[in-house]
Amino acid sequence: MSSLEITPESDDEWEQVIRRHLAAGERAHVTFERPSMTPAEMADSIGVSRATIQRRILAGEIRSERRGNRHRIPLHEVERFRHAYVREMATDLAADF
């Protein structure tokens, strides 16, 4: 069993790899997924606590997808929130000066 990750930046070699495996009598299983982060991964990337991210998800400030009983945050949402959070922090700090 082998694995192949294909991204939008991938060149066309993946098609040849798949054809070679199929010609050898193997089966292929294709799964599409949206890149995402867990709340803990997002918290680490932004520099806040996981609890802060959880509170923001529950308040509706961060959109997430549920997988079972777990939240996954799409990368585009991580970036959207990161920019909003930086602006929020800048505004709060500006009031102190």
> Which band of pLDDT confidence, cut at 50, 70 and 90, is reported for residue 84?
very high
Mean pLDDT of 75-92: 92
Give the Cα-Cα-Cα angle 27, 67, 41 (nearest 5 degrees). Answer: 100
Tens of pLDDT, residue by residue over 22-76, are 999 999 888 888 899 999 999 999 999 999 999 999 999 999 999 899 999 999 9
Give me the pLDDT at residue 47, please: 93
Record the pTM: 0.67
Residue 74 phi/psi, 5° resolution?
-60, 145
Would you say residue 94 has pLDDT above 90?
no
